[in-house]
Amino acid sequence: MDGKLLWEKEFGTDFTLNFHGTRSTPVVVDKHIYIESGMGAVYCLNAENGEQVWSVDFIEDLGVDSVLQFGYAESVLIDGDNLICTPGGKDNNVVALNRFTGELVWSSKGFGGPATYNSPILVIHNGLKLVIAMSAVSIMGIDANTGEMYWRVEQTQRNKIHANTPLFPNGKLVVSSADPTDNSGLVQLQLSEDGKSAEVLWRNKKFRNLMGGIVKVDSCIYGSAYMKNDWQVFDWNTGEMLVQNKEISGGSIIYADGLFYCYAERDDEIALVDAAPDKFEIISTFEVPLGTKEHWARPVIDDGVLYVRHGDALMAYSISSKNK
């Protein structure tokens, strides 16, 4: 936790076609690390020394035609003994692997659409355990135990990019994409009582959040437009915009202890924000001094410390009075 390198491990082939570097966040469970490479392979590593336990390649082992245009970017989902990921193949669209061996547990053809860039989530709705996953053209509800796809809602983006992980509180699902089409934008779905169907409650086509993420706090959704100085607050129940702030560029957003931390992707800075249904006020900002190129990694807060990755640099900032 003091920034000293404990070990490092080379694995697979790095993605170099565009936006060079890693995309996926590693998932750590007990003594194992699970990570998906930009080239489309899942690796299980020993958490103590980084040695490889097993790997599965989407193209060679699961029949996917080719690597995604911008590289695979999802963080894998762990459900008990299963690892769930989205290769995007015609036959193996969404799969569950045994997390100890890499063996195939179940496979869902889904709708056969290619993979996209966000991460699947696991939800329990009235006793039914569902995987909510996305392809380049769909939001899908899949049985977490069998891989059966119960429902699909079309969600499009002209470049086939869905990079925001869905939100799911209280039986309602919210997905944020960026396109001025009939089946894009910020959308809220209502799951049926048994979870085996879903319908659109509202859709805001004007809000175009491509990859910065959104946060729900109480009755509102908070997020920013892609590559613009445009932060917005929305009503959770209607999708109506309530507040707009154009002081800093858009980017990723996280929430802790009543305040928002907004990482501006074009301004090399992080802003501390006090926001509510009637305000979006910047309290203070600080510059991110190290690293190069895109500010796309999501900040993380743990035990009063804010961790920020920018390119090849990792920084830790004290944000709690107890650390001073």
C-alpha to C-alpha distance for 168 and 187, rounded to whole angstroms: 12
The pLDDT assigned to 61 comes to 97
**CA 170 vs CA 1, 167, 219, 242, 253: distances in Å:** 35, 10, 12, 22, 22
pLDDT per 10-residue tile (average), the chain, 324 residues: 91 87 91 96 96 97 93 96 96 97 95 90 97 95 97 92 94 91 89 97 93 95 94 97 96 96 93 97 96 92 95 93 65
Name the pTM for this structure.
Answer: 0.94
Q: Look at residue 249 in the predicted model and tell me its pLDDT.
A: 94
The CA distance from 95 to 82, in Å, is 9
What pLDDT does 300 receive? 95
Q: What pLDDT is stored for residue 55 in this prediction?
A: 97
What is the per-residue pLDDT for 13? 85
HSE of 151 in the Cβ direction (CA atoms, 13 Å)?
A: 16
pLDDT of residue 186: 94
